[in-house]
């Protein structure tokens, strides 16, 4: 007699059952790396319309599609110029090893873009390799040094990140080596607890004064970015502008992390798609779109994502997870090490363990040596190039001589949710749910 097919509960799926059992075993929340694993409405649900009889495309090669962007034009004496509208997001030295930071810096510099420090301070490696370095000011202030503030090209005040809006940094003991401990002024081997609020300001009214202090300390030269995890972007973006930011960096729910509570990653914040739309509306309402630049991050994976984000009104995108994947994250090598972690290439999100099989999110010198800096930089540079030419391909097809000329009217949505979230008509209709009374 054949057995009938097994039926799994949707609510109590094998995943959920395993998690409840783990919680019962350990008595602590699950902690992991990477961004949201579950599917969410995203740029995949949008398409670019391309040329037709009413719109004409540009040829490649001689018919330029320019890609440059300037960040920080509002107040700074020295805004930063990027060759392409992409930045490498803040990822800490500590979460990442030194080789990863070197490779990202070198690859970014080759492509003419910036990298960003992270929740551990500035490493010499990153400063040496990265031509344009954005220095983060975080709630923890680990390793914060005014000399580094003066040595960077831009300053980014971190209010939150997409993986955990409202949460502070986390680094587990196995990654707190002597060097990391020394940089962060912590005992080696402990599990780092971090503050979720800045120690010396809270609220946009006091952020105004903090931004002014940082400008005073650097003689008003450098652009000041404010980074927010997307929870209430309509308000937060306006408040960042009112507080005096030159640039707003908005990180959607899909944004990655090297170590955060699972429950935070999956259940807090809104996806990048609606966050971006609300941020652009917020800027337009203040008459500040393009005057305060908007950088969007959280699940940017391809030139299509870049083109769609720019079409929706972003000035640039920031990549974190994608940059690491380009470096080698989840590459099919050292498969036995993935197995030892309980995973396999293509499914690994075990950054928190410090046992990264490809040597990126680890402090272990043996594992780190698996990441060749020159090769890694080459791969990052290649990926950035592909993002650019993919976006240019789509932009030229829409008749744009500059990526910034992409606009929301170049987009259509494939689902009702994406139409509502992106504020873009459902393909084949004029319908944007929530607008025009229906």
Which spans of this chain sit near other proteins (rule: CB under 8 A)? Answer: 26-28, 140-141, 144-147, 149-150, 172-173, 184-187, 190-191, 193, 195, 197, 199-206, 208-210, 212-213, 216-220, 232, 235, 238-239, 242
What secondary structure does DSSP assign to 314-351, as a single string?
-SEEEESHHHHHHHTTT-SSSHHHHHHTT--TTT---G
Smallest separation, CB 172 to other proteins (Å): 8
Q: Are strands 260-261 and 31-32 parallel, antiparallel or unpaired?
A: antiparallel
* Half-sphere exposure (Cβ direction) of 105: Cα atoms closer than 13 Å: 25
- Which of these, 40, 49, 39, lies nearest to 424 by C-alpha position? 49
CB nearer other proteins, residue 50 or residue 146: 146
CB nearer other proteins, residue 194 or residue 385: 194
Alpha-carbon torsion (262, 263, 268, 272), positive or negative: positive
List the end-to-end C-alpha distance of the chain, in Å, as a whole number.
Answer: 55
Q: Using CA atoms, how far apart are residues 436 and 433, in angstroms rounded to an integer?
A: 8
Smallest separation, CB 264 to other proteins (Å): 13
CB nearer other proteins, residue 259 or residue 358: 259
Contacts with 180 (C-beta within 8 Å, 6 or more apart), sequence order: 93, 94, 120, 171, 186, 188, 363
Smallest separation, CB 73 to other proteins (Å): 20
Smallest separation, CB 176 to other proteins (Å): 10
Smallest separation, CB 174 to other proteins (Å): 10
Task: Give the H/E segment covering residue 274.
Answer: helix 272-285
CB nearer other proteins, residue 184 or residue 308: 184
CB nearer other proteins, residue 288 or residue 314: 288
CB nearer other proteins, residue 278 or residue 392: 278
CB nearer other proteins, residue 13 or residue 182: 182
Contact 175, 354 (CB under 8 A): yes
Smallest separation, CB 192 to other proteins (Å): 9
Residues pairing with 426 in the sheet: 413
Smallest separation, CB 26 to other proteins (Å): 7
- Which of these, 323, 275, 282, 281, lies nearest to 296 by C-alpha position? 275
CB nearer other proteins, residue 217 or residue 333: 217
Smallest separation, CB 181 to other proteins (Å): 10
Q: Using CA atoms, how far apart are residues 349 and 347, in angstroms rounded to an integer?
A: 7
């Amino acid at each position: 007699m054949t057995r009938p097919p097994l039926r799994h509960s949707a609510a109590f799926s094998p995943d959920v059952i395993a998690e409840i059992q783990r919680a019962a075993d350990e008595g602590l929340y699950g902690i992991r790396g990477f961004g949201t694993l579950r599917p969410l409405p995203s740029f995949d649900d949008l398409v670019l319309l391309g040329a037709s009889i009413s719109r004409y495309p540009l040829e490649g090669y001689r018919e330029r599609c320019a890609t440059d962007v300037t960040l920080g034009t509002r107040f700074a004496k020295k805004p930063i110029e990027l060759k392409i509208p992409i930045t490498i997001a803040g990822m800490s030295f500590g979460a990442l090893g030194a080789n990863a930071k070197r490779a990202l810096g070198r690859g970014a510099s080759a492509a003419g873009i910036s990298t960003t420090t992270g929740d551990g301070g500035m490493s010499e490696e990153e400063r040496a390799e990265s031509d344009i370095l954005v220095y983060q000011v975080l709630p923890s202030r680990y390793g914060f040094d005014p000399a580094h503030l003066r040595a960077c090209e831009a300053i980014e005040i971190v209010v939150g990140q997409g993986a955990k809006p409202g949460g502070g940094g986390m680094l587990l003991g196995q990654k707190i080596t002597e060097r990391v401990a020394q940089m962060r002024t912590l005992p080696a081997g402990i599990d780092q607890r971090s503050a979720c609020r800045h120690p010396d300001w809270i609220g946009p009214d006091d952020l105004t004064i903090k931004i002014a202090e940082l400008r005073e300390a650097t003689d008003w030269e450098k652009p000041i970015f404010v980074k927010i995890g997307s929870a209430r972007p309509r308000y937060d973006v306006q408040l960042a502008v009112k507080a005096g930011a030159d640039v707003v960096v908005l990180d959607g729910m899909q944004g990655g992390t090297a170590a955060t509570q699972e429950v935070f990653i999956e259940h807090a914040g809104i996806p990048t798609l609606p966050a971006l739309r609300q941020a652009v509306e917020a800027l337009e309402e203040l008459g500040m779109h393009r005057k305060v630049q908007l950088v969007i991050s959280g699940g940017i994976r391809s030139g299509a994502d870049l083109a769609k984000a720019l079409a929706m009104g972003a000035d640039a995108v920031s990549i974190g997870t994608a940059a690491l994947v380009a470096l080698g994250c989840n590459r099919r090598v050292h498969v036995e090490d993935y197995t030892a972690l309980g995973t396999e290439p293509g499914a690994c999100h075990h950054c928190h363990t410090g046992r990264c099989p490809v040597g990126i999110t680890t402090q272990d010198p043996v594992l780190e040596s698996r990441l060749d800096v020159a090769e890694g930089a080459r791969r990052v540079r290649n990926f950035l190039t592909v993002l650019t030419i993919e976006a240019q391909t789509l932009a030229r097809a829409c008749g744009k001589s500059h990526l910034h000329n992409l606009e929301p009217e170049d987009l259509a949505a494939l689902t009702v949710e994406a139409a509502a979230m992106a504020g873009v008509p459902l393909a084949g209709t004029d319908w944007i749910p929530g607008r025009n009374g229906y």
